[in-house]
Every structure is written in C-alpha cells, then in structure tokens.
Amino acid sequence: MRAVILILALSLGGVNNQTVDAIDQPTADESQSALDWPQFRGDRSLSGVSASPAPANPQLLWTFDTGEMVDSSAAIADGIVYVGTYAGDLVALDLDDGSLRWRYHASELGIGESSPAVAEGVVYIGDLSGLLHAVDIDTGEARWTFETESEIKSSPVVVDDIVLVGSYDSHLYGLSIADGALIWKVETSSYVHATPAVVDGIAYFGGCDEEFRGVRVADGEEIFTVSSGAYTAASPTIVGKTAFYGTFANEVLAIDLDERTVRWRYAHPTRHFPFYSSPAFRNGLVVLGGRDRMVHALDAETGEPRWIFTTRGRIDSSPAIVGDRIYVGSNDGRLYGLNLANGTPEWEYEVGSAVSASPAIASGRIVVGAQDGLVYCFG
C-alpha cells in the first residue's frame, strides 16, 4: 500500500459565488479541543470539522488488525483511539504507535456503525444485539449496560449528565450517565439509525419514518417534526439555525429550525442515488458523499453545487475537514484528500478495501477503519 497523488478526473458542477451571510460557522458552544475527536463527527453539532493541524502529505504511521471489518468510526481522546468492530469488540489503541491498551467484548453479534463517544472517563458504544455499553477508559471494564429492543447503529452523544442513543426499536433514548437508568424515551414510527446532533439543548435527528425531529434533551419533550419526505439514515449537521442532511430519496435538505420548513432541496440532475454519508460544514460549504460515487460540495445558502468530485465506488463514509482539506473514504478502497474550495484532489491512499467508516482527526493524526479489519493512522 502506498500514498500517491490522485490522478482522477474532477467533475465540476455549477459554481455559485454568492456571499454566505446567514450561515457561517458551526455553533460556538460546540467547539472542541484540537487534541480530541471525542465522538462521531467530532462534536455535538456533528460538524465534521477538526481544529487540529494535519500534514500536507500524510504518511501511514501504523495499522492495527482488529480481526473483523470496521464500519464504526473512531473517537480520539487524550491520546487514545477507540473503535468498534464486527468481531463485537471495542478496542482502545495508543494514538502514537497503535499498540493495544485493552479490548472489551460487547456482543457476539458485533458492533456495526455505532461509533464511540468519550466523556468523563467513560466510553459509550452500541452493539447489534441492542445493548448500549458504558466502559471505563482506564480498565476497559463495563460500568453499566442498557438494553434496547433491537440493534443499535446510531452513535451515542453525551450532553451533561445524559447520554443519547437511537435504536432500531424505533426509539431515541435519554439515559443517566451515572448508571444507565432510563430518564426518557421518544417513540418514532420506524428505526432510529441516525445520530442526533445537539445544539442549545435540543437533539435533532432524521428518522426512517421520514420525519425530522427536535427533542429537548432535558426531558425528552418532542418540540417539532418536519417531513423529510423520505427514509433518512444520515445524521444531520447543525449550523446556526439550519440543519443539513441527505435522504434515500436522493436529495440533500436544508431545514430552517426557526421556521420549521425546508429551505432548499438538492438533487443531482442525472445521477439519482441515496445519500447515506453525513455532511460536514465549513466556509459556507456543505460537503457529503453519495452512493452515486460522488463527493458533493453545496452552497449552504442556495443548495447549488459548487463542485463535485467522482470516485470509483459509492461513498458511505462521512467527510472530515481540517484546514482547507477534506478527507473522505470510498468503497473503491481509497481514502481521499480534496481541496475544500474547489474539490481538487491533493492526496490519496489506496487501502484496497472499502472504507465506509468516517475519518477522525486529532493531534495531527488521521484515523480510519476499513472493511479489511485494519485501523489506519496517518500523520
């Protein structure tokens, strides 16, 4: 395997040079340490943006063989990488050299797309048997577990003394971080696959019942619903008073959270494939992958495409942004580094196996798992 400069064609969509006023940067209270990427998408607004520096030409530093494919996206906190595997294990790895700190076995059914969340000495993760696990980061032993009635693919989010997680039993749960006791649950009409984005005490998430919801974290009160018009598995990112996410109707939506209406819808004019990847936001651009094999960069104000980059496989990986570069995996077996402003390919690493997990970026390192069972660290 080797890093190479990418030589693939760049497919350009229409460019809109409108100045972005109303939509600027992720909500200020969701800022994070440059040393950490403590949960799925990096922060509670699910911005997908890292404050860490990253090298212009990342080199492979280490790999760790988990023994089974990895769809779970890594969390990085205090120099430790946490990631789940289809072998049913949550592993803790040293960020410097990839050595194993501990291995916690969660379930014989495996850990799927649920990604770890780290807070106050505990790492939380869901498994395909329907259990949410709270694991001590020092010992690798369970502090508590909570059983839902179906598999968990949603990633947990910790807000103060409550941990949120969705389940395929059609509920979003709010649990006590102290002991896993149920504080509240919100019932939907279908699976809760997406991870909730939390801003100003409200959890926002789309559901497989075609509804986008706002739920108050303190008490589980449902504040509003807006129809997405389609099955939604992707998680939203919240920027100011707007939520962005893709659907299985081959569209990306912008939801006005004040007006509770759809501000715009985007669909590629000819290639109609679902959006499973969750968006990242920076500098007025909403960036996400599609099962049409493309990375789409959309004007946050208008929904018009600024640029489109084509890979050789579908993109379920959610992009991560650091500085002026986007990192995203593809099922063509590559991890790509693209220029944020124009989509120009600047870096590529050929893994050789589908990369459907999402990159995590912290402390100058880029970490991602792949379906060959390896966790890769670049720096």
**How many residues comprise the chain?**
379
10-residue averages of pLDDT along the chain (379 residues): 35 34 42 76 97 93 97 98 98 98 97 98 98 98 98 98 98 98 97 97 96 98 95 96 96 97 95 95 98 98 98 98 97 98 98 97 97 98
CATH number for the domain spanning 27: value is: 2.130.10.10
Bridge partner residues of 274 (DSSP): none
Contacts of 2 (CB under 8 A, 6+ apart): 349, 350
Whether the CB-CB separation of 187 and 172 falls below 8 Å is answered with: no
> How does DSSP assign 193-252, residue by residue?
-SPPEEETTEEEEE-TTSEEEEEETTT--EEEEEE-SS---SPPEEETTEEEEE-TTS-E
pLDDT at position 61: 98
Beta pairing class for 374-378 and 60-65: antiparallel
The label of the residue with tokens 């939509």 reads 23
Taking the whole predicted model, whether its pTM rises above 0.75 is answered as yes
8-state DSSP, 278: P
Q: Which domain holds residue 374?
A: 3-378
pLDDT at position 29: 39
**DSSP three-state, residue 28:** helix
Cα–chain-centroid distance for residue 220?
Answer: 23
Q: Indicate the number of domains in the chain.
A: 1
Q: How many CB atoms lie within 10 A of CB 31?
A: 13
Contacts of 17 (CB under 8 A, 6+ apart): none
Phi, psi (rounded to 5 degrees) for 288? -155, 160
70-to-147, 193, 317 alpha-carbon distances in Å: 23, 17, 12
